[in-house]
Chains A and B, each alone.
Chain A
Amino acid sequence: MTGVRKLSRAEATAYGFLTVTLVFCLLPFVWVVLASVDPNAALFLSLPKAITADHFVKIFTAENGGRWFFNSLVTVGATTALVIIVGGMGGYALSRTNAWWKRPFLYAIILVRVLPPTALIVPLYKVMLISNGVMDALVRSIVPPDSIRSAMQIFGFVDGYLGLILVLSAMQLPLALWIIKTFFDLTPKDYEEAALMDGANVFQRIRRILVPLALPGLGAAGLLTFIGAWGDFLMPLTFISSSNLQLLPIGLFRAFQRANTIDYGYLSALALLYMLPAVVAFGLARRFLVQTFAGGIKG
């Protein structure tokens, strides 16, 4: 016996405990994956006797899953883009300014994250409802009567893409501002000044110098925004009522709620579909997280 060291009793106990914990934590994931392809999926864990894609097919044919997925991607994608742009500019400004209100402002915006969103849902809904009225009047004055409804589904503040995008962005922006501001704090002003001496105007400095330098920070903020908004349940539940604007988490929840027929295979397939983009986003942007929280600019 070379290379293998005998474990002490304490170590063996520790590893045993860890293994049990690991299995316990992994089981739900295993169940979701197995059940999603099992024609006879049930609430208990079992190896499928046959493998089927029926549950996935059902999502896109019998149910409106494709539409939910699309709605989720559009709103969360737009939220992420908006947060990266606004957070990028705001984070830069907050990093470079020495204004007296800088600290109070930074702590004030973090409050948005601290307060439980559910507690604010009533006043928030009221604000959105008033805004929606204004937007409705505006849309009516521009758009022909027969397309008002479809226009409001895009630009409405209640039961419309725009409202949900703005609410999700507002919730994710504080953290993004902090991350990007901190990243710019670690980015010397010399780069911008060197670019200024090289003859770069303000747009060239942003596009050719600042954005590439800040990419890890922007990427990390974007990833956390995407994951945060993708996982949000309360806002789409509160602000979306039309079935064709439904988001994936709400679709999943409603399927679970159906009283008489719980189709575990279908539910698992939907859950798997819901997890996928978050995992993909994490895989793509993981290195930005590492660069942002373990380094800053090198070179």
Chain B
Amino acid sequence: MATISIENVRKNYGAVEVIKGVSFEVADGQFAVLVGPSGCGKSTLLRIIAGLESVTAGDIKLDGKRINDVPPDRRGIAMVFQSYALYPHMTVAENIGFSLDLKKVPKAKIRKEVGQVAELLQLSELLDRRPAALSGGQRQRVAIGRAIIKKPRVILFDEPLSNLDASLRVQMRAELQRLHQELHPTIVYVTHDQVEAMTMADTIVVLNQGNVAQWAHPIELYRHPKSVFVATFIGSPRMNLIKGVVTSQDVTSSFTATEGWTVPLAGKDLAATETSVWLGIRPEDIRLVDANSAADLSGKVTIVERLGAETYVNVVKGTETLLVRVRGDIALRSGDTVQLVLDRASFHFFDQADRVFPA
């Protein structure tokens, strides 16, 4: 169990800077997820924490102690690789017990500890098999077993579920959370899948182009994204962004979209903007209303995606398309005209410099 601090870490490969001064902290026993698109530097950062890569500048601290120069196996950190990297010439038991064998732990003790880990991961029946004879999910569990048998202070996961099919992924997510609750290690987990991040994390670090875009609790991240990037990256389907300006008359301000429609911003007293801004609103914060009710705008339905419990509707207004979440059994067809009401309380405004306002 340990607290990890990343302080102003930079990493260059030749002239290319892939990590540009990243700082964050993972508290003892927390499940932290590093999330971001491909090439944002998240895997490099994980390898830096593991000790497989050096830093160009900055510090990695474990419980306040600088570990930049500590070799990987002395850091008390275990890692689960994306490819699992199970040794193909060893059995499951030998794979899990390899680190103990290297430490010259007596064979009987290794067998006992491997047995315990195998039981925890439901691998007891498979101990004599080779990795080639295992399914994807089983390999995944062996890789986790190989990590936890070391009783590490920190476990690192590098996109561990990306090689599994969708249903297995949901199952493994639950299993990982169960393991975390039982063993309470500090976990740093890398993924490009924001659903994995949202469902498992205590804290999420969103990375973009080598920088921390935002570092917060999942719900905080969802409710109060600090940039257009985070607003659109977190949440599925993504947040709608509408271009327009804020105008102010007397005490009431309103938002006027470039496409011509206006919503008054009751309760949100914003200063008028001269340049255009982005209004962000999530699909669940837009409602459909009857033709006779008061509406903020109307538009034409182009695509209806029915998922069963819910339906996503693409509504076109001029050149903009809004994604709206409605109930599953709604009677709508492409070509229908619909009236939309936007929930004022769920508006997010971003200015030209990609800052949230009012700050």
Contact = CB atoms under 8 A, between A and B. Distances in A.
A298 B88 contact: yes
A197 B87 contact: no
Given A198-B102, A199-B103, A204-B102, A193 B85 contact: yes
B286 interface: no
A299 B52 contact: no
B99 A198 contact: yes
A212 B89 contact: yes
Contact of A199 (B85, B87, B99, B131): B99
A190 B102 contact: no
A212 B89 CA distance: 7
B83 interface: yes
Contacts of A198: 73, 98-99, 102, 146, 150
Most buried by B among A199, A209, A298: A199
Most buried by A among B78, B89, B131, B132: B89
B102 A188 contact: no
Interface size class of B (residues with CB under 8 A): 20 to 34
B98 A188 contact: no
Interface string B57-101: 000000000000000110001110111011111000000001100
A208 B83 CA distance: 19
B78 A299 contact: no
B77 A190 contact: no
Given A197-B78, A299-B132, A191 B87 contact: yes
B50 interface: yes
Contacts of A206: none
A198 B86 CA distance: 12
B88 A194 contact: no
B287 interface: no
B90 to A, nearest CB: 8
Given A198-B73, A213-B89, A298-B132, A190 B99 contact: no
B334 to A, nearest CB: 48
Contacts of A188: 83, 85
Interface in A209-230: 209, 212-213, 215
A197 B73 contact: yes
Nearest to B71: A196
A297 interface: yes
A200 B90 CA distance: 15
Interface string A71-102: 00000000000000000000000000000000
A194 B89 contact: no
A196 B73 contact: yes
Contacts of B82: 190
16 contacts: A188-B85, A191-B87, A196-B52, A196-B72, A197-B50, A197-B79, A198-B102, A198-B146, A199-B99, A199-B102, A199-B103, A200-B98, A297-B88, A298-B88, A298-B132, A299-B130
Given A194-B146, A197-B77, A212-B87, 6 more contacts: A193-B52, A193-B81, A195-B98, A198-B99, A199-B73, A200-B98
Interface string A147-178: 00000000000000000000000000000000
A297 B90 CA distance: 13
Nearest to B89: A212
B88 A213 contact: yes
Judged by DSSP, the binding face of A is: helix
A195 B88 CA distance: 12
B172 to A, nearest CB: 19
B103 A190 contact: no
A109 B82 CA distance: 36
A190 B146 CA distance: 14
Interface in B144-162: 146, 150
B17 to A, nearest CB: 19
B87 to A, nearest CB: 6
Nearest to B132: A299
A87 to B, nearest CB: 20
A215 B102 CA distance: 21
Contacts of B81: 190, 193-194
A213 B140 CA distance: 20
Contacts of B150: 198
B86 A299 contact: yes
A298 B77 CA distance: 27
A197 B147 CA distance: 9
Contacts of A215: 89
A193 B85 CA distance: 9
Interface in A33-92: none
A194 B50 CA distance: 11
Contacts of B88: 213, 297-299
A208 B102 CA distance: 10
**7 tightest A-B contacts by CB?**
A299-B88, A299-B132, A190-B85, A199-B73, A198-B99, A194-B85, A212-B89
A197 B72 contact: yes
A193 to B, nearest CB: 6
Contacts of B132: 298-299
A191 B85 CA distance: 5
A198 B95 CA distance: 10
A249 B274 CA distance: 94
Nearest to A188: B83
Contacts of A208: 98
Contacts of A213: 87-89
A40 to B, nearest CB: 54
Contacts of A190: 81-83, 85
Contacts of A191: 85, 87
A191 B84 CA distance: 9
